[in-house]
Amino acid sequence: MVDGGLGQLSAARAVLAELGLHETQLIGLAKKQETIVRETGSINLPRSSEALKLLQRVRDEAHRFAITYHRLVRDRRTTASELDLIPGIGNMKKLALLHHFASVKQIRLADGEALAEVRGINRHDVVAILAYFDQNAEPAPEDES
């Protein structure tokens, strides 16, 4: 089942053909009139039809799933940080560090004593953070002379 009319059905058919799935039956649900579209013609079911309601629920669930997934991907992208690469530093510790220091740059500049002051950061975390930033030092600014 494809969400859309004949255009979306044709695009899905092309993808299935590339995958060697030539015999797969396809239908589309064109939203405007809630028409069931097939490659051989279309079907109009009464709005009260249980079959139509089932297809609408399948489509709506697919939309909900896709929207939820895209929000998750977007949220991960916007909250991604270099701190995610440090073993043992999860979201809670990352947030505590950023709240305390305000930036990854400030965390990078912090010494062990300053890191240990952060709530929820233990000595193992301090060692991991210092080791990570020692191994991944920022390059020194180039001399402009």
Find the angle CA(74)-CA(77)-CA(78) to the nearest 5 degrees: 85
**Model pTM?**
0.54
With contact defined as beta carbons under 8 Å apart, do 73 and 86 qualify? Answer: no
For residue range 17-75, what is the model confidence (pLDDT) as tens digits?
999 998 999 999 988 889 999 999 999 999 999 999 999 999 999 989 999 988 888 87
Domains and CATH numbers, the chain: 1-56 (no CATH), 82-135 (1.10.150.20)
Alpha helix positions (H), the chain: 6-18, 50-79, 91-101, 104-109, 112-116, 123-135
